[in-house]
Structure 1
Amino acid sequence: MIDGTTTITDLDKTAENKLFIQGFVEKFLVGGDASVIPAYIKAHGYVQHNPHIADGVEGLQQALAYFAANKIGFSYSAIHKVPGEGNFVPVISEGQMAGVHSTFYDLFRVEDAKIAEHWDVIEAIPAVDKWENQNGKFGFR
């Protein structure tokens, strides 16, 4: 998942893009409202870098249908950080993936006020008794 556009542009739109992406994550990933997808994701040319999800809005919809049919639940419960620069906005969140307390690292590239690309990494959050320090996953406990 290291391919794709890497040039940062639209530095003057950093704040706007961060608000845009935070709105998408709050409504779709935290809120579960898939009806917002057309308002946020490019209808043509959306690139999904997760190797298990096909490109395009159709690929995302197929993945959501697969998750539902196979009872693979995922839910975002909290957004911890939304840094960003220009057209690239990462979001660090937590929630559940297939019943496992997890961290979600999503990176979005915005183009013409729509999500053009998405990369993600999902990582399990270990139980507190397995921590090597007391900082916690997000720098606090």
Structure 2
Amino acid sequence: MKITRLLALGACCILICSARAAKSHTSMDTITNKQRVLSFYKQIVGQRKTELIPQFIVEDYKQHSPAVKQGRVGIAEMVNYLKALPSPPESAKSPIVRAIQDGDLVVTHLDVQFMGRRMAVIDLFKLKDGMLTEHWDAIQPLPDESGKTITATNGTTEIDHNASAEDSRVIVDQFYKAIVNKRSAHQFIDTVYVEHDASVIASGVGLAGYLSEPDRSVKIHRLIAEGDFVVVQSQFCKGEKTFVFYEIFRVAKGKIAEHWSVEQVVPDDVKAEDMF
């Protein structure tokens, strides 16, 4: 198995323990899509139950991760590989940091330790009638963040369900329209917002300035919102490279209050559109 496939394992779900309860034995018509995804992580990946794959994955499952085969066979291949590895201890912390649901779409944000490497991962699943039908992802290796107060994945995890998802979506949509149209976007960002992207921090120009760099062109594919959290799935070109880019925004009082991101370069032998 190639190292790219190992990274895909890290992305797709990886050594999940039971830290996040997923109501796997609840009637399928009473659980949310988010619970269904978490149950998939727990039973299929964490507990390596390949026999349950047909209960979670449609036969024509569409896979946008270039290192994983299409359909159920790709999931089965990854889980069978995991079976050859030591199981995580019962006390292991779940790598799932955030889970966001918007209709038939579910996003998970993971902090993964795999084969001595730490990676930030964002998975995006589409579901129909409780079955996973489609998957996208991005994986970004992380540096040592020991001793840092703000890291790539820490910060707010709980969704404020009293907040309007549509209002949050509008704020992020307006922010990105300003970015794409080369207008000022600083007014959408709180003066004390928390930035988790090390590249944005290192740039010294803030989030709006970083995303507006002259050599960066952006294309938005999806905005996914739940409560005060909004996920943006996009691609950007920089130099001769195209990147898959996922961002998570937390909105508070009409401003962007917190921001995380995961980016991955599109492999040279892969069409960018195939990853969206």
Distance 1:102 1:111 in 2: 29
**Match of residue 80, structure 1, among 97, 100, 104:** 97
Structure 1 residues 93 and 53, CA, compared in 2 at 3 Å: closer, same or farther? same
Q: What is the Cα-based RMSD across aligned positions, in Å?
A: 3.0
Q: TM-score, normalised by structure 1?
A: 0.69
Tell me, yes or no, if structure 1 residue 134 matches structure 2 residue 144. no
Distance 1:63 1:24 in 2: 14
Deviation sequence 1:38-81 (CA, Å, 0-9, x none)? 21111x21101111111110132234456778x7x9x7842111
Q: How many residues align?
A: 122
**Match of residue 89, structure 1, among 97, 100, 106:** 106
Structure 1 residues 93 and 17, CA, compared in 2 at 3 Å: closer, same or farther? same
Structure 2, unmatched stretches of 5+, are: 1-28, 156-276
The equivalent residue for 2:66 is: 51
**CA offset at residue 116 of structure 1?**
0.2
**Match of residue 21, structure 1, among 27, 37, 41:** 37
Structure 1 residues 107 and 56, CA, compared in 2 at 3 Å: closer, same or farther? same
Please identify the structure whose Cα radius of gyration is greater: 2
Structure 1 residues 68 and 20, CA, compared in 2 at 3 Å: closer, same or farther? closer
Structure 1 residues 27 and 62, CA, compared in 2 at 3 Å: closer, same or farther? closer
The equivalent residue for 2:137 is: 120
Structure 1 residues 77 and 128, CA, compared in 2 at 3 Å: closer, same or farther? same
The alignment partner of 1:84 has SS state of strand
**CA offset at residue 18 of structure 1?**
1.0
Structure with bigger RCO (C-alpha 8 Å, 6+ apart): 1
Q: TM-score, normalised by structure 2?
A: 0.38
Structure 1, unmatched stretches of 5+, are: 1-12
Distance 1:106 1:88 in 2: 10
Query: Which structure carries more strand by proportion?
Result: 2
